[in-house]
Amino acid sequence: MTRRQPNRRDVPHMRVIRPVAWAALLTATAAAAAGFGSPASATPRAADPPYPNNVPDAGSRPQPLGTIQLPGQPPATTVPQLPSLVASGPLAARINASATEVAMLGERVLELQQQRDQAATDLALADTNLRQKRDQLAAAQRNADSAASDALKAAAALPLGTYDRDMQDLDTLRRMLTGQSTGTHPEVAGDEVERARLAEQNATAYYAAMQAKHQKLVTDAGALEKSRKTKENALRALRADNIEAVEAYEREQERAEQRLGAQYVSGESVAGMKANDKAMVAVRYALAQLGDPYVWAAEGPDSFDCSGLMWASYRAAGFRDLPRVARDQYYYSRDRSVSRSALLPGDLIFFASGSSWQTVHHVGMYIGGGKMVHAPTTGDVVKVSTVWWSRFYGATRIFPAQQATPPPTTPPATTPPPTTTPPTTKPPVVTKPPETTRPPVVEPTKPVDPPPSTDPTDDPTETPETPVTDETTNPPVDDDTEETAPPVTQEDPPATDSAATPTGTSGS
């Protein structure tokens, strides 16, 4: 027996109960809200404490000492400011701004000129390629004409029964002559003509693009160079009109830079490392150019600009991969950067007007002692100056440093030879002559024979005791007979001799 499902008409009260329950719920919620708002219950016991309006610690906040350098970013360029006497002054500020602008314009013009020269090379290559493609198209066209002529001659010699097939061949010839694809025979001359024509069209378009690019670079470089010359002439006139003030300013700036760089100056070696020998070749070349005039875009041998001097110096050391422009020189060697306190002779020092490497406008070569050799600016010469620490952007090293020679430890090294001399056993060998001392001991025995007198008996008895102690003890015991005692005290073989000598003397 199946159970009957209830019908919606059996429960009509559901539609009435739901609105009533909802109204009751709203009423209860409103009452609860009214109760919470009463003064009696201001804050629940478990409520979170309010947020303070001030910092609990009344101490001073830490101040950052510099910029944070993240991985992959260029080195920070914020350095302590120069003293007010150097950093201030309308004339000094004007000269610095003008020199920086001229230097940056010069770097930009050099880049445009390099791009212009590269575009000229690309244009020449595009022209050569276009000529080749045109020659290839002409050759393909000649091959197609020859193939069409051969096909017409072959078709004229065929019998009438092959007329239909000849019509198909004529259609193929038409496609070949017009440069269209022959469909079923892609290897025929018509396809070669089509490919050659497409290549010629691409070469023509590329040549036109290279020609337009080259022309634009020529125009841009010329306009920018004109502006650079105008500003350079203005800077030269400004310096000439205020030569005394400029010289005083430069002297003061030199002293300020020396004070600022005292903390960065190190010795000839850093952490046991010294400048590479090849880097020293570049240093010597740069120092040999002292006094040569600064000329923009000059690379030597008698005039240089800042980056041209670095470029020529390292080429003299055998390194030919260094770019020509200062900012490109930094970007090229940026993965070999060096800190201020670890500079070695030959390191390249870059100066910028901003925090980006693209604002690099000057470069010099560190020579040690906080000094650098560089070609400063228009109207100046190649000279040695204190590093511009106030405008320092970064430094890089072209050749890796090499191990410095240890301090003179050669004196300890020379001590081993003295230690080797003692082992010589020659002094002990010299002890053999002491063996020859026995003859002198025998010699005193001769004078012992002449003194037969009884007076010196005490002395001879004492003297023979010392040498005779090694031989025999019996002779000293006989003290009564002095004449027999001396011969007996001598060695046994001499004793026989002593007995013979008196007989001989008596016989004589």
Q: Which residues are catalytic?
A: 306, 362, 374
What would the two tokens of residue 432 be? Answer: 């053999």
CA-based end-to-end distance of the chain: 182
CA angle 164/169/170 to nearest 5° reads: 95
Q: How far is CA 141 from the centre of its chain?
A: 59
d(CA 79, CA 340): 11
Q: Specify the DSSP class assigned to residue 393.
A: E
User: Which amino acid, 274?
Assistant: K
d(CA 487, CA 500): 11
d(CA 69, CA 60): 25
What would the two tokens of residue 332 be? Answer: 């090229």
d(CA 186, CA 177): 14
d(CA 349, CA 336): 12
Which of 501, 497, 502, 473 has its CA nearest to residue 485? Answer: 473
Which of 398, 374, 399 has its CA nearest to residue 385? Answer: 374
